[in-house]
Structure 1
Amino acid sequence: MERSIRNSPLAANDGDSELHLDRWRELPRRQTPPWPDPAEVAAVCATLGKKPSIVMPHEVEELRYRLADVCEGRAFLLQGGDCAETFAGNTESHLLGTTRTLLQMAMVITYGGSVPVVKVARLAGQYGKPRSSETDSLGLPAYRGDIVNARQVAESARVADPQRMIDAYVNSGIAMNLIRAYPPDDLTDLEELDEGAYDLLRASSAGARYQGILDEVERARRFARVWGPTERQAVRESKVYSSHEALVLEYDRALARVLGGRAYATSGHFLWVGERTRQLDHAHIDFVAQIANPVGVKLGPDVSPQTAIELCERLNPENVPGRLTLISRMGSREVRDVLPAIVDKVTAAGAKVVWQCDPMHGNTEQSINGFKTRHLDRVIDELLGYFDVHRSLGTYPGGVHIELTGENVTECLDGAHGVDSRNLPDRYETACDPRLNLRQSYEFALLLAEILRG
């Protein structure tokens, strides 16, 4: 099957009508970019429709097989990256920093938790942002991500520009090609673990608590110096798949390709629908229902168990393991009360899903001079609640979905490294949600390893 997928030509238009790839255009839709000229949008999409794919169908199928292992409790899903990518931030150092952090977290989880880790990055396409309001606090049109408009504080910069979809395509292709081309042993080499962050981690309270796991990682580092992985193993373990929110549907539809009677969104390996756009009879759910990619849906504290069942029926009618991921983002105060009924009903229905926890988005606050903040203790508490729920029900907590960076930013607050409102760093992105920094990402991985160890 993989050989036929690799060698078969992709069609941009053949069979589209039978696959209902455009039905979403006639449905209600939230978070629609305010494009000023529909004709220009159509012209841009026609151009994108003729461009090469960013990801290939055989890679999409490969990810679905690996997510089936997660669904069956044989692997763990680690998904992370920037809140929203930017064109200016699409640099080699930033891309490799994020990818290396994700891979090193996966190594800690694998060594400490004795479980294979599937790595999915919020990368090579995460250029859109949902907004809670049409305007920002200054009365300007809201910044909707670099794929739609610019972050600069000016009316002209906030005009939705469809040409930016072409810029997003170019930047996504560059990012994906860099990650594919980079020597896998360079990305997976434990010698590359940032020494400064490693020293900080050892000195922290987390370092003391997780000393046993740290010692195991240190032994692995010494082992890697003497006996590196085989080429085949290095390629497999360094495999990082791309993901983004299916938000700007014009872009994802333009990059849909038909192969063997199935439609693949070749804009990314894994697409998810956010909490704001998961209405069953709306455009976003309809579009992702038509594609063969693994897909996810964010579930906030207001979702009902019945809605979760209906999402399973709509998005995975054949009940294929690895096809659908349900991503809880309840908040630390709600997860233990809301999630059990959802998990219980979905499990009782026999639905094959990957359960994943996003402990970030339900714990965001606007509290320091207008800057978004997150308290790390609440992020951790939601994570612990997620595992508590699944263990009490005998279900498998298959993964986590977090916002992180390989840089030493100061965005999430914790007891020892809180944000001082008098000294907010220049790198802080006010338009985006706060991310775990390098040290916090390692602490998070160590916690996951400890939990999975049991």
Structure 2
Amino acid sequence: MSTAHATAISASHTSDWTPSSWRDKPALQMPTYPDADELAATQAELRALPPLVTSREILSLKQQLAEAQEGERFLLQGGDCAETFAECNSDVISNRLKVLLQMSLVLVHGLKVPVVRVGRFAGQYAKPRSADTETRDGVTLPSYRGDIVNSPEFTEQARRPDPRRMIKAHARSAMTMNFVRSLIDGGFADLHHPEYWGLGWVSQSPHAADYQKMVAGIGDAVRFMETLAGRRMQSLNRVDFYTSHEALLLHYEEAQTRQVPRADGWFNLSTHFPWIGMRTAALDGAHLEYFRGIRNPVAVKVGPSVTPDQLLRVIDALNPDDEPGRLGLIHRMGAEHIADKLPSLLDAVKREGRRVLWVCDAMHGNTESTSNGYKTRQFKNIRSEIEQAFDLHEAAGTRLGGVHLELTGENVTECLGGARQLTEVDLQRDYRTTVDPRLNYEQALEIAMLIVRKRGQLA
């Protein structure tokens, strides 16, 4: 299908759409703002603020995701479960970037394909909750829905949904993006010096020796290529990096949705790659209505309760023209359920000939609580779900084109197991997350290495 033809069909499909048409649909997981005038004024201010990303970047990412669908790239999407305003600082951001760079280096070296790097940051400030309210000692208050909505402290003032927090979220997202771009443009991701990406606290990691050996090998390869070419390869000085977040708070997303010169349609300019969570993917819901009208590449979380018919209808709604790079399906089944639940979905999508990017989220289906009251995930289950995902796609004749992970560059102890075999006792040492448990650096790097080993076994 030609680009012009696809654009014409898409324009017809969204002719009845506006950035606010979601308001006519049931909107789940949304806060109730007590002051409608304050909300409207905040949205008006947001509409006047500069965008966080450009349409050119968005379309570039869409092309790369189309190549990932064909096995020519691999998607690495990772970052915090939920960003906080307090952690918008240089150390946290640079450490998060280092983790993703090191993981991508492992994947590029092992898979022999380019990696699409997408961070869960610069906008991941909203989180869905299992209940609208929380009760403690007989007191009931609104649930904490992320820093873009309210504060985690259990007081009436902190838990009041405050629309002005959307302005703070935009400002901190802009600061995060500015710092990431400055690091990359300044040579932070220079392949001539991957040894600079190290995190000091993991120098004694069980995987440190393997990683350093890989770094040395890449350095030798770069110098060899430049010797043959007789010049320094400037293209190795920087990498592309994109942002993503769950587009949960539609008031915020609507205010950042704009038309741009010399490009048809509407773009969400708050992020490159927004996704819909499992709890808000209803066919008649506000989130699906909003997503169907934007030109960004988008993704949907797919859980074990989704049927083949439901999934095909979601695909029809979000990508009726089968546009390459448009739609990612992020399955998050859990290690116990993936073998039973995923094959029928793979078969249905393949049978209908639909073009999607399959991605494995091995985090959200494996959450559990420990005997000492911590919300955690076991590394062995995360590993099992990823390995099973590769096997199931191989058996179905489909392709696993990426992974979606919650991780951090900080020395946290939130997930059990991994190379250092963290236990329930270790969780008490450095458990920081306000919502979901994350992989620390060592565990994240171990995941990258197991992906390489698994793909090598299937090759």
TM-score with structure 2 setting the length: 0.89
Matches within 5 A, 1:364-379: 364-379=367-382
1:361 aligns to what? 364
Aligned CA RMSD, in angstroms, stands at: 2.1
- Matches of 1:405 and 1:202, distance apart in 2: 17
2:399 aligns to what? 396
Kept in 1: contact 2:330–2:359 (CA 8 A): yes
2:259 aligns to what? 258
Aligned residues: 429
Deviations along 1:295-349, whole A, 9 cap, x unmatched?
0000000000111111111000110111000000000011111101101110111
The yes-or-no answer on 1:156 pairing with 2:157 is yes
One-letter amino acid of the counterpart of residue 27, structure 1: K
Tell me which of 84, 87, 96 is aligned to 1:86: 84
Tell me which of 182, 199, 205 is aligned to 2:204: 199
Kept in 2: contact 1:79–1:120 (CA 8 A): yes
Kept in 2: contact 1:142–1:158 (CA 8 A): yes
2:8 aligns to what? none
Report deviation, 1:134: 1.5
Secondary structure of the residue aligned to 1:85 is coil
- Matches of 2:444 and 2:313, distance apart in 1: 34
1:280 aligns to what? 283
Percent identical pairs in the alignment equals: 41
Q: Mark the runs of 5 or more structure 2 residues left unpaired by the alignment.
A: 1-13, 227-231
Kept in 2: contact 1:190–1:224 (CA 8 A): no
1:65 aligns to what? 63
TM-score with structure 1 setting the length: 0.90
Q: For the structure 1 residues 329 and 423, does the alpha-carbon distance in structure 2 shift closer, same or farther, using more than 3 Å as the test?
A: closer
- Matches of 1:312 and 1:445, distance apart in 2: 29
One-letter amino acid of the counterpart of residue 187, structure 1: A
2:240 aligns to what? 239
One-letter amino acid of the counterpart of residue 167, structure 1: K
1:44 aligns to what? 42
- Matches of 1:179 and 1:316, distance apart in 2: 31
1:174 aligns to what? 175
Report deviation, 1:178: 1.1
The yes-or-no answer on 1:268 pairing with 2:266 is no
- Matches of 1:410 and 1:83, distance apart in 2: 14
Secondary structure of the residue aligned to 2:142 is coil
1:337 aligns to what? 340
- Matches of 1:186 and 1:226, distance apart in 2: 22
- Matches of 2:362 and 2:312, distance apart in 1: 22
- Matches of 1:80 and 1:426, distance apart in 2: 20
The yes-or-no answer on 1:103 pairing with 2:106 is no
Kept in 1: contact 2:416–2:424 (CA 8 A): no
Q: For the structure 1 residues 231 and 153, does the alpha-carbon distance in structure 2 shift closer, same or farther, using more than 3 Å as the test?
A: farther
One-letter amino acid of the counterpart of residue 199, structure 2: D
Report deviation, 1:37: 1.1
1:428 aligns to what? 432
Q: Mark the runs of 5 or more structure 1 residues left unpaired by the alignment.
A: 1-15
One-letter amino acid of the counterpart of residue 170, structure 1: A
Matches within 5 A, 1:294-305: 294-305=297-308
1:450 aligns to what? 453
- Matches of 2:35 and 2:273, distance apart in 1: 30
Kept in 2: contact 1:356–1:401 (CA 8 A): yes
Report deviation, 1:99: 1.1
Q: For the structure 1 residues 353 and 423, does the alpha-carbon distance in structure 2 shift closer, same or farther, using more than 3 Å as the test?
A: closer
Name the stretch that deviates more: 273-282 or 213-222. 213-222
Secondary structure of the residue aligned to 1:199 is coil
1:165 aligns to what? 166
Kept in 2: contact 1:191–1:225 (CA 8 A): no
Kept in 1: contact 2:413–2:427 (CA 8 A): no
Secondary structure of the residue aligned to 2:118 is strand
Kept in 2: contact 1:191–1:224 (CA 8 A): no
- Matches of 1:308 and 1:278, distance apart in 2: 10
Kept in 2: contact 1:191–1:221 (CA 8 A): no
Kept in 2: contact 1:71–1:398 (CA 8 A): yes
2:75 aligns to what? 77
One-letter amino acid of the counterpart of residue 417, structure 1: Q
Runs of 4+ in 1 over 3 A off after TM superposition: 16-19, 213-218, 221-229, 419-423
- Matches of 1:60 and 1:247, distance apart in 2: 19
Kept in 2: contact 1:305–1:342 (CA 8 A): yes
Kept in 2: contact 1:321–1:352 (CA 8 A): yes
Deviations along 1:250-290, whole A, 9 cap, x unmatched?
00100001133310000100000001000011000110110
